[in-house]
Amino acid sequence: MYLILELDGQLKCVRIERSDIGMLSRTQMSATRMLDRWLISHYNTTHRTYRSSSEHALPATPRSGGARDLHRRTQAIKRQHASAKTQLGGRLLMTTEATQGHAVVTPEQLEKVRSRIGVEFLPDVYFNTQATRDTVRHFCEGLGDSNPLYCSPSYAAKTAYGRVVAPPEFLYSIYWPRGNGGTMAGIHGWHSGNDWEWYQPILEGDEFSVVVKLLSIEEKPSRMAGRIWITTDETIFRNQKNQIIAKAKGWTTRAERRAAGSVGKYKNIERASYTAEEMAKIIGDYDKEVIRGAEPRFWEDVQVGEELPSVIKGPLSVRDMNAWLMGAGSPFMKAHSYFYRYLKKHPKVGMVDNGTGEIDVPELVHMQDTRANEIGIPGAYDYGCQRMSWLSNLLTNWAGDDGFITRMYGEVRRFNVVGDTHWIKGKVVGKRVQDGEYVVDLEIWGENQRNEITAPGKATIALPSREAGTWPVKQRLAKMRIR
């Protein structure tokens, strides 16, 4: 537990074992209880926390002052409007269990979320705002997509685009459409899927703006955490010409961290290990990856039931997650002063490590096994948008330079922990003509080394037609020039 104590003449926050409480003096215990009680109640009503630091510290209380003097000092702390973060022994600690990032969902919180349904807002944090050669290349490197259409200016210049373009999932680097509840800080969220519609290609030089609105919040029973809440939002991406490039629905599954950590639904999952022969096969599968590229895939040549050449991702490592963030960015991963300013503005983002007391972002569940263990996951795991992009990578490899992905739906059903390997697969399930375009429907999925389908999905791709003479990419480029 975390206690407010007097140390070296100042009020300090320290982590202490409950078994050691008996060693504290009566005065210290009185101070601790009163300050903790006030901090908890005030934090829950104002969403602010208070700091005991050098500029806000007060002189130690003489023992004769008792509770009356303590009350005066507590009021002084209130008036100074500091935050409840303090440096002790070189580690940043947080006061009271109420500020550890292990919040409990309340009826008031749910009502606040519901009040946001249908209200549009503009995100205040972007990673990329423009598709440049470098931002596109960095994204592809983090994704593991070596398609020259995205990464080679000389190659892209010879295509219908005439320049570098971005893969459709590049928009994750602009904004993550993930079911942003907005007022559920401290309640852990797992990005659980997306339903994408793309209308126009993403061209080098395009700049983007985003409008988001919450669509719904739904409560469900859960074996993992007792109960969960699914928040769904809709995000519209526009370019500098105000043309709608894409629309995405995203949903996040939310659960109380303590509840999720105590159930242990996934505790029996063992980290993957591989023999030399198994690793050789994995490396061989990378060598088998097929990028269609400049050779058109005509609609007439596609057969219902045919399988797509698979794409392999893994064995998953923390390096993969870091590379992903270098290209796609993150709303939380900030360094030094940027992080602490962000934490001051959004204090409930902070999550205290049970072992060290250090404050950091909940996103470290993707980097550190201990953080993942706290929420009931056996190890660090991938990002939802990362796995959604793996599905899209399969589609762009298969469609070729002249195909255009119009829709992709995907779900994140199971965790993909460090060490897991995924094969992204698909097959054609239908062919049709829609609004004058020749499209194919596909079933797609991610399958791990345990033969578990962790990410089922579906997609629609517009392909060129040899007989009709339609070229979906060229037609879209023509529309973009006219507008």
- Determine the distance from the C-alpha atom of residue 335 to the mean position of all C-alpha atoms in its chain, rounded to a whole number: 17
Q: Give the count of beta carbons closer than 10 Å to the beta carbon of residue 327.
A: 23
Q: Would you say the C-alpha torsion 254, 258, 260, 266 has a positive or negative sign?
A: positive
* Mean pLDDT split into 10-residue runs, the chain, 483 residues: 44 46 43 40 35 36 46 48 34 35 80 94 92 99 98 98 98 94 75 98 98 95 82 98 98 78 69 97 98 99 99 98 97 89 84 79 89 87 98 99 99 97 99 98 99 98 98 96 65
What is the rounded distance in angstroms from the CA atom of residue 193 to the CA atom of residue 176? Answer: 11
Q: What is the pLDDT of residue 53?
A: 34
Strand segments, DSSP code E, in 116-243 are 120-121, 165-166, 188-198, 202-203, 209-222, 226-238
**Distance of alpha carbon 64 from its chain centroid, rounded?**
53
Q: Measured between alpha carbons, how far apart are the two ends of the chain, in Å? A: 61
Our CA angle for 362, 341, 1, nearest 5°, is 50
Which among 447, 464, 443 is positioned nearest to 399, based on CA atoms?
464
Helices (H), 332-453: 336-345, 369-374, 384-399
Distance (Å, whole) CA 443 – CA 465: 21
- Of 193, 243, 251, nearest to 217 by C-alpha is 251
What gap in Å lies between CA 276 and CA 39, rounded to an integer? 56
Q: Helix and strand tally (H, E) in the chain?
A: 13, 18
Alpha carbons 116 and 129: distance in angstroms, whole number: 25
Q: Kindly state the helix (H) or strand (E) to which residue 35 belongs, with its residue range.
A: helix 26-46
Burial class (CB in 10 A: 0-12, 13-18, 19+), 348: middle
Q: Tell me the pairing of strands 422-434 and 311-313.
A: antiparallel
**How many CA within 13 A on the CB side of residue 227?**
8
Which pTM was predicted? 0.79
Find the farthest-apart pair of alpha carbons in the chain and give their distance in angstroms, rounded. 96
3-state secondary structure of 321: helix
E strand residue ranges, 85-206: 85-88, 91-94, 120-121, 165-166, 188-198, 202-203
What 434-443 contacts at long range (C-beta under 8 Å, 24+ apart), as own/partner pairs, is 434/460, 436/470, 437/406, 437/462, 437/470, 437/472, 438/299, 438/462, 438/463, 438/464, 438/465, 438/468, 438/470, 439/299, 439/406, 439/463, 440/299, 440/302, 442/308, 442/395
Please report the pLDDT score of residue 72 as a whole number: 57
What domains does the chain contain, in order, with CATH numbers?
A: 2-99 (no CATH), 114-482 (3.10.129.10)
Nearest to 32 by CA among 51, 11, 62, 63: 11
Return the axis-axis angle of helices 384-399 and 133-143, rounded to nearest 10°. 100
For residues 331 and 408, the answer to whether their CB atoms sit within 8 Å is no
CA atoms within 13 A on the CB side of 452: 11
Q: Return the pLDDT at 205.
A: 98
Cα atoms in the 13 Å half-sphere on the side-chain side of 475: 16
Give which of 86, 92, 95 is closest to 43, Cα–Cα. Answer: 95
Residues 6+ apart with CB under 8 A from 11: 4, 5, 35, 52, 57, 58, 73, 77
Going by C-alpha positions, the residue among 233, 117, 251 that lies closest to residue 194 is 251
217: CB partners within 8 A, 6+ apart: 110, 113, 114, 117, 181, 229, 230, 231, 232
- Rounded Cα gap, residues 410 and 384, in angstroms: 10
What token pair was written down for 74? 């507590």
Q: Three-state SS for 357?
A: coil
